[in-house]
Chain A
Amino acid sequence: MIAQQDRKLALSYISVAYIAFLIGTLMGLLQVFIRNDKLDLPAWLDYYQILTAHGVLLALIYTTFFIFAFFITGMSKSLGTFGPKVRLWSWVGFWVTLLGTVMATVLIVIGEASVLYTFYAPLKANGWYYVGLALVIIGTWIASFALIGHYRVWRKNNKGQLSPLFAFMTITTIIMWLIACLGVVATVLFQYIPWAFGWTDTINVELSRSLFWFFGHPLVYFWLLPAYIAWYVIVPKILNVPVFSDSLARLAFVLFILFSIPVGFHHQLTEPGITNFWKFLQVVLTFMVIIPSLMTAFTMFANFEISGRKKGATGLFGWFKKLPWKDIRFTSIFIAMAFFIPGGAGGIINASFQLNEVVHNTLWVVGHFHITVGTPVAMTFMGLTFWLIPYLTGRKFTKSMKVLAFVQIITWSIGMLLMSTAQHVLGLLGAPRRTAYSGYNGHPSAMEWFDGILSSHVTMAVGGSILFVSAMILIYIVVMSMFLSPKALKVEDQVEFPMAESDKSHTPKWLENWWIWIGIAFVLIIIAYAIPLSSMIMHAPPGSEGFKTW
């Protein structure tokens, strides 16, 4: 077990994550019923406030706090107990991120920031909302640098050695995150805050959108890579096999540093201000992440097959039956991976240049989120939560908790399957995203969308309700594991942190030369962004004043 003080740190992060999860999923439940026209909100609460809270709390806060809890625990386990400075700065990072979260949440609740989590200008929220968001980012930077500090101490004490795989992957994710945040920090500090407080009169809208998406796409990889860490490092241990290939795992990760960032324009394919050449160039770069994704898929199936054959499986697919289906730590993550197959395919559709027009800003995109971040990522985090909290609290993961965990994972899968399928179908029919209930004055086309069995409001609401039940079961499991489950006094009751052995004897050293990867990443960013961004600045139209349209 890792040091008491490191556990306390990780548990604090997890607690915030699940408070955000609780509120965020409740907001999700309200949404499906408002869209269904079955729920009228009181006058002081608005659909778009709820939507903003749902997006911010789940996509930004739940993920970020959970990811840091996972990183802190794994880094303490793989590199050793944190030193006093690392611990201090991790706490500073925690409090700064929390302060930012609370500020942003309060401003959403009082109706000063119904701008959704993309906060597109010239919708103008209260200036303190942007300060809150900036603090969230700065807090994660502080916590990130604390972890980098911990890693550097290890490197200094282990000269010439490659770091353990978990630490390597954590540092990769953090480097990607630090570079990605430069875009959002630039726009929030130099565009939004001066404008929101009235120090400047207008804002360059297209530039702010592009800087946002410089950050917005790698943000999704910031959610995904920690899940990949679990897939690469945790899953093999549960399967009782070593890491399939240490060098390929590392290569896949560094490719994400290169190809996560210079790709934001694929979120802006249907908008003006960017020429087709630059849009298409970034589409090509976007598709490069398919390469590490294929490597990951191969590795996962290799692990499954090797593990199954070790247990005596024969034939082409015999290994499938030998997988540890009764172990929720595995089954949860396996289902998460399965959801990522249509999720990833949908992502390819979204980024396919002209094809984007068919789905852009329709409910399809909402469905896509829910089978990428909402299931592959979130369900991997759930699968980690089951053992991570007992591991940190020294409590048992009891039999009844295991049963509940199965119920939770299965309900989440069913709910998500119903809701996301409805959303995908509705999106293809043309129903827009981010809207409260609307029949467009009874327009026949709008009425038709919701006529199907799968595409009806009912399917979405049933799915959403099942998801909420599942979320509440998870909250129950979290509370039990945190405070109430019996202490694991005997060694055999103690919950382990499954971390697979990785043979790094054949791994080339240059994979851990970060300056190579950071250097190439910046070259790609400059190629993809320098000219279009500078033309947005030099050929900018007169800027926009702010509007509060809610």
Chain B
Amino acid sequence: MHFHKFEKIWLVFGIISLIVFLSVVGITAFSHDHHPAGGMDTIDPEKVNETAPFDNPGVTQLDEDTYQVAIVAMAFGYTAPELKVPAGKEIIFKVTSTDVVHSFTIDDTKVNMMVVPGQITTRSYIFDKPGKYLILCNEYCGTGHHYMFTEIEVY
């Protein structure tokens, strides 16, 4: 097959850029543990309120530098009493849903998690700045979707 000389240069340049780009993304992901939200834990969507940690939703301190925040999403809100976490500490969010698919998205941060019934989504995050952050649902979940929000206070 004939390739024009310029096209060869163009494609070689493009493919090398692609390899470099993917290597950067892959290396930061797997060597620095820089992954998007996810997790492989499952849960019975009808027994969420009886299953740990969602039987006691909210903030739990795991050790000196780590906090866990368990959240139950449902149409159209989050079961999350008194969300207050410290800045500069690792916060592990664990979220699940009792009904349809939602999201758990904290404005001004990289926390943007899909919440799928039957699954537990996990994301760890360290807040830099104290303040009140808006949490909202960005996956369509029904008539009240745009009223589904709450707040987290970082101190």
B residues less than 8 Å from A358 (CB atoms): 110, 112
Q: Are B149 and A271 in contact (CB under 8 A)?
A: no
Question: How far, in whole Å, are A436 and B141 apart by their CA atoms in the complex?
Answer: 12
**Please, what's the 1-or-0 string for A186-210, where 1 marks a CB less than 8 Å from any CB in chain B?**
0000000000000000001110010
Residue among A294, A436, A541 with max Cβ neighbours from chain B (10 Å): A541
CB distance from A38 to the nearest CB of B (A): 16
Residue among B30, B41, B117 with max Cβ neighbours from chain A (10 Å): B117
A residues less than 8 Å from B7 (CB atoms): 248, 295, 298, 302
Q: Are A206 and B116 in contact (CB under 8 A)?
A: yes
Q: Are A361 and B112 in contact (CB under 8 A)?
A: yes
Q: Which residues of B from 94 to 126 have beta carbons under 8 Å from A?
A: 99-101, 103, 105, 107-108, 110-114, 116-122
Q: Are A508 and B1 in contact (CB under 8 A)?
A: yes
Q: Are B117 and A275 in contact (CB under 8 A)?
A: no
CB distance from B12 to the nearest CB of A (A): 10
Q: Are B36 and A270 in contact (CB under 8 A)?
A: yes
Q: Are A271 and B29 in contact (CB under 8 A)?
A: no
Closest to A539 in B: B42
Q: Are A354 and B108 in contact (CB under 8 A)?
A: no
Q: Are B36 and A245 in contact (CB under 8 A)?
A: no
Q: Are A287 and B45 in contact (CB under 8 A)?
A: no
Residue B136 lies at the interface, judged by CB distance under 8 Å to chain A: yes
**Contacts known (A48-B145, A120-B101, A441-B149); A205 close to B117, Cβ less than 8 A:** yes
B residues less than 8 Å from A541 (CB atoms): 42-45, 118-119
A residues less than 8 Å from B21 (CB atoms): 287
Q: Are B136 and A432 in contact (CB under 8 A)?
A: yes
**Contacts known (A287-B18, A539-B42, A542-B46); A272 close to B114, Cβ less than 8 A:** yes
A residues less than 8 Å from B105 (CB atoms): 361, 430, 432
Closest to B37 in A: A270
A residues less than 8 Å from B34 (CB atoms): 354
Q: Are B146 and A544 in contact (CB under 8 A)?
A: no
Q: Are B139 and A438 in contact (CB under 8 A)?
A: no
Question: How far, in whole Å, are A507 and B114 apart by their CA atoms in the complex?
Answer: 47
CB distance from A215 to the nearest CB of B (A): 17
Residue A15 lies at the interface, judged by CB distance under 8 Å to chain B: no
Closest to A507 in B: B1
Task: Say which residue of A279, A283, A298, A435 sits within 8 Å of B38 (CB atoms).
Answer: A279
Question: How far, in whole Å, are A506 and B136 apart by their CA atoms in the complex?
Answer: 58
Q: Are B116 and A209 in contact (CB under 8 A)?
A: yes
**Contacts known (A280-B29, A434-B145); A445 close to B18, Cβ less than 8 A:** no
Question: How far, in whole Å, are A539 and B118 apart by their CA atoms in the complex?
Answer: 11
Residue A123 lies at the interface, judged by CB distance under 8 Å to chain B: yes
- Majority DSSP secondary structure for residues of A touching B: loop
Q: Are B38 and A271 in contact (CB under 8 A)?
A: yes
Q: Are B119 and A247 in contact (CB under 8 A)?
A: no
Q: Are A123 and B100 in contact (CB under 8 A)?
A: yes
Q: Are B35 and A276 in contact (CB under 8 A)?
A: yes
CB distance from B13 to the nearest CB of A (A): 9
Q: Are B119 and A361 in contact (CB under 8 A)?
A: no
B residues less than 8 Å from A547 (CB atoms): 75, 99-100, 142
Residue B39 lies at the interface, judged by CB distance under 8 Å to chain A: yes
Question: How far, in whole Å, are A20 and B43 apart by their CA atoms in the complex?
Answer: 42
Q: Which residues of A from 277 to 295 have beta carbons under 8 Å from B?
A: 279-280, 283-284, 287, 290-291, 294-295
B residues less than 8 Å from A279 (CB atoms): 36, 38
Q: Which residues of B from 21 to 57 have beta carbons under 8 Å from A?
A: 21-22, 25-26, 28-30, 34-46
CB distance from B11 to the nearest CB of A (A): 6
B residues less than 8 Å from A438 (CB atoms): 146-147
**Please, what's the 1-or-0 string for A338-357, where 1 marks a CB less than 8 Å from any CB in chain B?**
00000000000000111111
Task: Say which residue of B28, B41, B99, B136 sits within 8 Å of A440 (CB atoms).
Answer: B136
Q: Are B116 and A361 in contact (CB under 8 A)?
A: no
A residues less than 8 Å from B144 (CB atoms): 549
B residues less than 8 Å from A245 (CB atoms): 2, 4
Question: How far, in whole Å, are A544 and B114 apart by their CA atoms in the complex?
Answer: 16
A residues less than 8 Å from B76 (CB atoms): 549
Q: Are A272 and B38 in contact (CB under 8 A)?
A: yes
Question: How far, in whole Å, are A316 and B116 apart by their CA atoms in the complex?
Answer: 54
Which residues of chain A have a CB within 8 Å of any CB of chain B? 46, 48, 51, 114, 116, 120-123, 204-206, 209, 245, 247-248, 251, 268-276, 279-280, 283-284, 287, 290-291, 294-295, 298, 302, 352-358, 360-362, 430, 432-438, 440-441, 443, 445-446, 506-508, 539-545, 547, 549-550
20 A-B residue pairs with Cβ-Cβ distance under 8 Å, sorted by A, are A120-B139, A120-B140, A205-B101, A205-B119, A271-B38, A273-B119, A283-B22, A287-B22, A295-B7, A353-B25, A361-B139, A434-B138, A436-B145, A438-B146, A445-B108, A446-B134, A543-B118, A547-B142, A549-B75, A549-B144
| Top 4 A-B residue pairs of the complex, sorted by shortest distance between their CB atoms | A549-B142, A432-B138, A541-B118, A541-B42
19 new A-B contacts, CB < 8 A, other than A276-B29, A438-B146, are A51-B140, A206-B118, A209-B101, A251-B1, A270-B114, A272-B37, A273-B38, A276-B30, A280-B26, A287-B18, A298-B6, A357-B112, A435-B138, A440-B134, A445-B134, A541-B42, A549-B75, A549-B99, A550-B143
